[in-house]
Structure formats: structure tokens, C-alpha cells
Chain A
Amino acid sequence: MYSIAIHGGAGGVPADLLSKDNGARYTDSLSKALDAGFAMLERGGSSLDAVTTAVRSLEDDPLFNAGHGAALTREGWAELDAAVMDGKDQRAGAVASVRHVKNPVDLARRVMEKSRHVLLVSAGAEEFALEEGIPLVANLYFRTDERRFQLASEQQGRSVSDLMPGGAAANRRLQAPMGWLGTVGAVACDQHGNLAAATSTGGMTNKRQGRVGDSPIIGAGTYAKNGVCALSATGHGEYFIRAVAAHHVACAVEYRNLTLEAAVRELIHSRIPALGGSGGVIACGARGEIVMDFNTEGMFRATRDSTGRRQIAIRRS
């Protein structure tokens, strides 16, 4: 069975988020990314291409906190992080704190394929992008009015959604308990049984310059190993780093013979909350089985596989 799952962040779901056209905008966007990734798998493409394609699609959509429409730092900059990992040979690539790369997930993939490194950051990562012929874009490209509004609200002590620009504008009095954390990610299993994972984010609204969360950290926000699982996490990154969340699940599957579902459940409903964190993960098992779990009110998520299953959801079903 081949399959793909994507997420667009986990957090609280304001009551009127799904009202009117809002819900449709999110499900349309998720649907587009899901089908773009699935199409790659359908025509025999690699899981690596599928997750890269799906994440790129979400990066380009200003609704999600990655690429265009990323959350802004304290000083009003977009600083982007991304990672990708190939489960076949466990190669990995990641970038952190880049400010001028349109699709950070593409640069992470270049780091994996064209450099001898795994993680490149800030100006050095952008130098590498230029050497690879990737054009840079102005930081303005990433900033949207909604994100500016969120930053201003946050700085005035009003907590708002990081997850959805439209939702935030519509919910000015929203008090999200953990803030909103709208990272995007994808996991997939291709026709050859190869697993891959990718994650991309703008991080937290009002974050300190240079703050790195779990998304670009191999083992924390992103991990893939054939025969075990592929994962992409979203949530309060600091806790996911400390728990080495993605690798923790892989170890529970590989060393303890837990099912993927049980391993994810333990992470999300026991280990992360015990540390004080919240969030969710999407995971793809060795045979393409998909697990999507979270301990927040909702997680933007979607999955599709070769048996015909196709699901898009936000709240707990």
C-alpha cells in the first residue's frame, strides 16, 4: 500500500474558525497539497518527491505558517526552518533561520543531496542556495498582513492564533492556551515501500531571532527509517526537542515492538504532556499505515492511500 499524510499544524480551534468560508479555505488548501503529493506516488514517484511536493504546496499557501505567510519574529522578520529525511538510507537535510529562500523544504533537500552536510543555517545556508542556483526572494515575500496583525497583537499582550491568518483576524479576543503552532509537514510511503518525511515552519509568532524549534531537528520534528516509520511533528517545539519526539516513536516501534499507533499515543498523550508540552504528529508505518494523533483541540490533517481512503479533518473525529 502506498500512502501520504500531511498536516498544517495543531492547536486550539476557535469556535467560528470553521464557520462561513474559513473551513472550506483550509480544507481546499490541504486537499490540493494532499493530491499533489499523492499524484507523485500514483505514477510511481518516490516518497521523497511526494513529501517535498506536498510541503512545497503548503509553503506557498499563506494560510499556513511556513514559506509565504510564515509567522514573524519579534523584530518582524520571517525566519524559516525546514527538514527532509529519506527513510531508505536515512540521509537527511535541514535548514534553519533562513530569511530569503522561497521554499525552505527545497533547500533542505538540496542540503541532503548536494552537500556533505545535514544542517545549514542563516546566511551560510543562503550562500549555499545561491551556489545551487536557487534564487533568493525578499523577506517581504513571506510577510502577510495577518501575520503582522498577529505579531502586533502578541506584542500588546493579546494572544492570537499562529495557525491561521484568517482565523486570527476573525478571532481577536481568542485566548489560545498554548498559542497556535501552524507548522506544516508530510509523511509518505511509496510503491517500493520507501518512507520519507518533511517538515517546514516559520516557528512561533514573536519568537526571538535565532530561535530554532523542532522542525529542522532530525529526530525531533522530522525522522524517517524504512521498515520502522516516518514522522513529522507539530507543536510546542522546545518540548519535542527535549523528548527527541520523532526518534522516540521510531525507537518505541523498533525496540519495543509497539504498534505505530501505540507508540504515537504514548508520545502525544504521555511523554510530551508530562514535560508540559502539546502538539501532534503524523506518522507513516512500514507498510504505509497512517497514524495522526494530537493532544490539542484540533490538527489540520489529511491522508490518502492506494486503497481509496481519503480523509481531511481538523477537529477530533
Chain B
Amino acid sequence: MLGVKHFRARDVRLRDSHWTRHEAPARLAWLAFLALAAFGAGTARADDAPPIAIVVHGGAGVINKAEMTSEREARYRTGLEAARDAGYAVLERGGTSLDAVTAAVRSLEGNPNFNAGRGAVLNHDGIAELDASIMDGNTLAAGAVAGVKHVKNPIELARLVMEKSPHVMLMGPGAEEFALEQGMPLVPNSYFRTEERVRQLERALKEEKEKALRTSGALESGHGSGSEGARVSEGARVAESGRVAEGARVVGANARASGAGETRSQGKASAARTAERLAAPDVGASTVEPTPIGTSGTVGAVALDRFGNLAAATSTGGLTAKRAGRIGDSPIIGAGTYADNKSCAVSSTGDGEFFIRAVVAHDVCALMAYKNISLEAAAREVIHEKIEGLKAAGGVIALDTSGHIVMDFNSDGMFRAARDSRGRKDFAIYHERR
């Protein structure tokens, strides 16, 4: 087994991604079983077969019910169910969990309603910056990309990083160079941009500007140091002169500087407030997130295949109006994505900074493996105690090798859908009524 892993890690170019060497015997055995079953008593009953399952999510967060029209809800539902079924189809025809999660996430990346791939949110400069990661629970092989701007399906590039490079994580232009070397065409950044995301960015920048103006007013009335107040109002004037994007950027920078000044000048008295500010749900540079699905419309999938192998994948555009170069939890192995056949597969979505600090995905796996608790209990502890304790919000989808499905969150809702060989096939947004 060690030899196989060694081979996979070091000489992946020789490997056929759809028929891995270590799977081949299992798959042959399975095909033989299917053939026998067909000759014999007809089709194998689902109960006898090892379970297969897939779970997908389309983000968790504050759900603005005023904006969540039934028409919009239907679009999310259609998109998630299509992704779920695309992944399930791969599993059903004997494909790997790795192929299933890739197919499901690719489907969501192609859907402009979700914050990944086409339709990703825009950063402060109006650019889509994409992150994705994938992990194989059988070998613990993993791949991730961050801050890519021209890769149509970041999840496919993450998979190539896993399978065709000796690395786990590549970012920025270096990741795109690798994409080109692998024969993957690049697309202009405008491919990702949708009218709705442009409007959302405009709203976020406007709110940021208004907030900065309020801050500058407060500073000028004597609550902060004079020089910082002056800098903020100067930034605000630039913003008012019509150069909205650039001006707002200056305001944003100074608003941050003024926050720091406040911490310095008021010392311990403001410690509590500073803690509160740091603990506030992350909404990038804006205070109010105008999207109907809150701050994180990240997408992800976890799957279990016939060979008993788990896989997880996550993809995102991050936060609306985020600072260029900000990376959340989605491409971080252990935070946004983790899979280990010994415990479970997890894809998370939520306030990314807090999910990184809590190493959410790996923590769910570790709790399950080390404390001998159920997947459900492990996910509950991480989301409702640890993440809740950090005053953050979000959720996870998770799956273990027995096919137990967990979808847990502490936000208003989480777009989610699941399907398995035991007949489960569902979609939900809000908390289930108990």
C-alpha cells in the first residue's frame, strides 16, 4: 500500500485518473459480481450492494427572505439537484467518488446562481478570484488552487494539481501557468462576471462608502486621532468625486486604519469592542451583505463510491468586495475540505476566516476518529459549539464510509441536497422542523 501511495504521489503522469491501479482489482471484482448477478437472480438489490451516496451544498448563511422569491428558490433547487444527480450518475455507473464530486462541483461552477466559477462574486476591484480544493479519502491525496482568475472550472485545476503535479496547492499566475502546461485553456475574467454580481459589488461598495463617511464624521467630532480623521475624510472626498471603485478602496483602507488607531488610542477600554469587531461575521469590506444567500454561496460535494472510498471537493469565489488576495477556507485542506476513509469526508461553507482557525473539516474527522462519536455528533460539536463559540456562522456537509449523511449549519439556512442508494433523494434550504 505504501508503494502504491508512493507511486501515486511521485509518478502520477503514468496513472490513468479514471482507473487507478489500487482500485482496479476492486473494480474488476465488482464487475464480476455484477455479471454474476445479471446471470443469476436478475439485478442485484440495492440493499445487498455497498452503499453509494452524494451530498452537495450551495452555501450557507443569512437568508434574506425578501429576496428569496419562489422563482429564485426554484433556480437554486434545480441547480443543486442537477449537480447532485450528475454526481450520483457517476457513482451509479461504478465511477469513483473523486469523479462524482468533481462532476457535481463542476456542474455548480457552471451555474451562475452559485458563488463559484461562472457567477462568482467580485472582489473589491471588480475581479472574480477563485479558490477550490479536492481530496481523495483513500490515499489522502489532495489538490488546491487559490486566487485564480482565468480558469473556467477551478475544481478541475485543483484535481490536476493533485494528479499531475508533486504539489498540493498552487496559487495565482503560477497556478494558471500550470493550467496552460496541462493544456487547459484560460478564459477572460469577464466569463465569470454576471450582472447580478456587478450590482452586488456596487451595493457593497456604496455601503462601505457610507460607513466610512459615518466613521469619518465620528472621528472628526473628536473620538479619534486628528490625523486619521483627516485621512478618512480625504478618502471619502475622493469617493464622492465619482471614482467609486478607487475612492471606496481608499476609504476602505482608511477605515481599517482608523479601526487600528482606535484600538491603539483607547487601549483596554476598547478591547471588548475590538474582540467583537474581530469576531463579527466576515463580510469582507462591506457591512451588509446584499445577496439572498448571505456571505458564502460556496459550493461543495462529498461522495462515497462502491469501493468504499470517500472524496470531498469545494469551490468558491469568496466574499463580495473582498480584498484582493484574500483566501478563505475553501482551498485549505483541513479547513474547507477533508476526506479520509478512516473517518469521513467534509466540505464546509461559512465565515471562512473562522473555519480556517477552527480547522473545521479536519476537526470533524478527528473528533469522529478519536472520540469514537458519530459523524452527526462530531459535526454538531464543531458547528454548534466551536464555530458558534467563535460567534461565526456556516455549515458542513459530511459523509462516512457507512453512508451516513450529515448536513449541519448554524446559519439561517444552507442550500443542500443528498442522494443515496438506499432511496434517499432530497433538497432543503432551511432547518428541518423537528
Indicate whether A and B interact: yes
Binding site for B on A (CB under 8 A): 85, 89-92, 96-97, 114-125, 127-128, 131, 208-213, 217-220, 223, 237-238, 241-244, 247-248, 251-252, 255-256, 274-276
- Residues in A neighbouring B37, C-beta threshold 8 A: none
Q: Evaluate contact between A242 and B325: CB separation under 8 angstroms.
A: no
Question: Given that A114-B256, A115-B323, A123-B325 are known contacts, is A211 also in contact with B357, CB under 8 Å in the complex?
Answer: no
- Residues in A neighbouring B178, C-beta threshold 8 A: 208, 210
Q: Evaluate contact between B169 and A208: CB separation under 8 angstroms.
A: no
List B97-143 residues whose CB lies under 8 Å from chain A.
135, 140-142
Q: How far is the CA of A148 from the CA of B179 in the complex (A)?
A: 27
Q: How far is the CA of A186 from the CA of B325 in the complex (A)?
A: 26
Tell me whether B173 is interfacial, beta carbon within 8 Å.
yes
- 13 A-B pairs (CB sep. < 8 Å): A85-B357, A89-B275, A92-B356, A97-B171, A117-B323, A122-B171, A210-B172, A218-B335, A219-B332, A241-B168, A242-B333, A247-B334, A276-B6
Question: Given that A210-B171, A248-B362 are known contacts, is A241 also in contact with B323, CB under 8 Å in the complex?
Answer: no
- Residues in A neighbouring B89, C-beta threshold 8 A: none
- Choose among B253, B327, B362 the residue that contacts A131 (Cβ–Cβ < 8 A): B253
Q: Could you list 7 further interchain pairs (A-B, Cβ under 8 angstroms) beyond the known A119-B356, A208-B165?
A: A97-B172, A128-B323, A213-B169, A243-B140, A251-B367, A252-B370, A276-B6
- Choose among A90, A91, A131, A211 the residue that contacts B169 (Cβ–Cβ < 8 A): A211
Question: Given that A114-B260, A276-B9 are known contacts, is A244 also in contact with B362, CB under 8 Å in the complex?
Answer: yes
User: Which residue of chain A lies nearest to B145 when distances are taken between CB atoms in the complex?
Assistant: A210
Q: How far is the CA of A118 from the CA of B178 in the complex (A)?
A: 26
Q: How far is the CA of A124 from the CA of B147 in the complex (A)?
A: 10
Q: Evaluate contact between B167 and A118: CB separation under 8 angstroms.
A: no
User: Interface 1/0s, chain B 135-159, versus A by CB < 8 A?
Assistant: 1000011100011000000000000
Binding site for A on B (CB under 8 A): 2, 5-6, 9-10, 135, 140-142, 146-147, 165-175, 177-178, 253, 256-257, 259-260, 275, 277-278, 280, 282, 323-328, 332-335, 338, 352-353, 356-359, 362-363, 366-367, 370-371, 390
Q: How far is the CA of A251 from the CA of B359 in the complex (A)?
A: 11
Question: Given that A127-B325, A217-B333, A218-B357 are known contacts, is A210 also in contact with B362, CB under 8 Å in the complex?
Answer: no
Q: Evaluate contact between A124 and B325: CB separation under 8 angstroms.
A: yes
Q: Evaluate contact between B333 and A220: CB separation under 8 angstroms.
A: yes
User: Which residue of chain A lies nearest to B358 when distances are taken between CB atoms in the complex?
Assistant: A90
- Choose among B141, B173, B327, B357 the residue that contacts A92 (Cβ–Cβ < 8 A): B357
Q: Evaluate contact between A211 and B174: CB separation under 8 angstroms.
A: yes
- Residues in A neighbouring B333, C-beta threshold 8 A: 217, 220, 241-242, 244
- Residues in A neighbouring B260, C-beta threshold 8 A: 114
Chain B nearest CB from A87 CB (Å) reads 11
Q: Evaluate contact between B169 and A241: CB separation under 8 angstroms.
A: yes
Q: Evaluate contact between B324 and A218: CB separation under 8 angstroms.
A: no
Q: How far is the CA of A211 from the CA of B178 in the complex (A)?
A: 10
Question: Given that A121-B147, A208-B167, A220-B334 are known contacts, is A276 also in contact with B2, CB under 8 Å in the complex?
Answer: yes
- Choose among A85, A92, A123, A210 the residue that contacts B324 (Cβ–Cβ < 8 A): A123
Interface centre among B6, B277, B353 (most CB of A within 10 A): B353
Q: Evaluate contact between A122 and B2: CB separation under 8 angstroms.
A: no
Q: Evaluate contact between A218 and B332: CB separation under 8 angstroms.
A: yes
- Residues in A neighbouring B356, C-beta threshold 8 A: 92, 118-119, 218-219
Q: Evaluate contact between A124 and B326: CB separation under 8 angstroms.
A: yes
- Residues in B neighbouring A124, C-beta threshold 8 A: 147, 323-326
User: Which residue of chain A lies nearest to B275 when distances are taken between CB atoms in the complex?
Assistant: A89
Chain A nearest CB from B185 CB (Å) reads 19
Q: Evaluate contact between A251 and B363: CB separation under 8 angstroms.
A: yes
- Residues in B neighbouring A256, C-beta threshold 8 A: 370
Q: How far is the CA of A313 from the CA of B118 in the complex (A)?
A: 53
Chain A nearest CB from B336 CB (Å) reads 11
Chain B nearest CB from A96 CB (Å) reads 7
Q: Evaluate contact between B334 and A274: CB separation under 8 angstroms.
A: no
User: Which residue of chain A lies nearest to B325 when distances are taken between CB atoms in the complex?
Assistant: A124
- Residues in B neighbouring A212, C-beta threshold 8 A: 146, 168-171
Q: How far is the CA of A210 from the CA of B357 in the complex (A)?
A: 23
Q: Evaluate contact between A122 and B362: CB separation under 8 angstroms.
A: no
- Residues in A neighbouring B172, C-beta threshold 8 A: 97, 121-122, 209-210
Interface centre among B140, B171, B325 (most CB of A within 10 A): B325
Q: Evaluate contact between B325 and A120: CB separation under 8 angstroms.
A: yes
- Residues in B neighbouring A120, C-beta threshold 8 A: 323, 325-327
Please name the 5 residue pairs, one residue from A and one from B, whose CB atoms are nearest each other, closest first.
A124-B325, A210-B174, A209-B174, A255-B370, A244-B334
User: Which residue of chain A lies nearest to B323 when distances are taken between CB atoms in the complex?
Assistant: A124
User: Which residue of chain B lies nearest to A210 when distances are taken between CB atoms in the complex?
Assistant: B174
Q: Evaluate contact between A251 and B169: CB separation under 8 angstroms.
A: no
- Choose among A118, A211, A255 the residue that contacts B170 (Cβ–Cβ < 8 A): A211
Chain A nearest CB from B165 CB (Å) reads 7
- Choose among A128, A210, A223, A252 the residue that contacts B173 (Cβ–Cβ < 8 A): A210
Chain A nearest CB from B41 CB (Å) reads 42
Q: Evaluate contact between B325 and A118: CB separation under 8 angstroms.
A: no
Q: Evaluate contact between B167 and A211: CB separation under 8 angstroms.
A: yes
User: Which residue of chain B lies nearest to A90 when distances are taken between CB atoms in the complex?
Assistant: B357
- Residues in A neighbouring B334, C-beta threshold 8 A: 217, 219-220, 241, 244, 247
Q: How far is the CA of A211 from the CA of B165 in the complex (A)?
A: 10
Q: Evaluate contact between B359 and A255: CB separation under 8 angstroms.
A: no
Q: How far is the CA of A210 from the CA of B334 in the complex (A)?
A: 20
Q: How far is the CA of A223 from the CA of B332 in the complex (A)?
A: 14
Q: Evaluate contact between B147 and A122: CB separation under 8 angstroms.
A: yes
Q: Evaluate contact between B353 and A275: CB separation under 8 angstroms.
A: no
Q: Evaluate contact between A248 and B366: CB separation under 8 angstroms.
A: yes
Q: Evaluate contact between A255 and B371: CB separation under 8 angstroms.
A: yes
User: Which residue of chain A lies nearest to B361 when distances are taken between CB atoms in the complex?
Assistant: A244
- Residues in A neighbouring B362, C-beta threshold 8 A: 219, 244, 247-248, 251
Chain B nearest CB from A203 CB (Å) reads 10
Chain A nearest CB from B344 CB (Å) reads 14
- Residues in A neighbouring B335, C-beta threshold 8 A: 218-219
- Residues in A neighbouring B353, C-beta threshold 8 A: 116-118
- Choose among B282, B327, B358, B366 the residue that contacts A116 (Cβ–Cβ < 8 A): B282
User: Which residue of chain B lies nearest to A223 when distances are taken between CB atoms in the complex?
Assistant: B359
Q: How far is the CA of A116 from the CA of B275 in the complex (A)?
A: 11
- Residues in B neighbouring A244, C-beta threshold 8 A: 333-334, 338, 359, 362
Q: How far is the CA of A91 from the CA of B275 in the complex (A)?
A: 11
- Residues in A neighbouring B277, C-beta threshold 8 A: 116
- Residues in A neighbouring B146, C-beta threshold 8 A: 121, 212
User: Which residue of chain A lies nearest to B284 when distances are taken between CB atoms in the complex?
Assistant: A116
User: Which residue of chain A lies nearest to B254 when distances are taken between CB atoms in the complex?
Assistant: A131
Q: How far is the CA of A256 from the CA of B358 in the complex (A)?
A: 18
Q: Evaluate contact between A275 and B359: CB separation under 8 angstroms.
A: no
User: Which residue of chain A lies nearest to B7 when distances are taken between CB atoms in the complex?
Assistant: A276
Chain B nearest CB from A180 CB (Å) reads 16
Q: Evaluate contact between B175 and A210: CB separation under 8 angstroms.
A: yes
Q: Evaluate contact between A119 and B326: CB separation under 8 angstroms.
A: yes
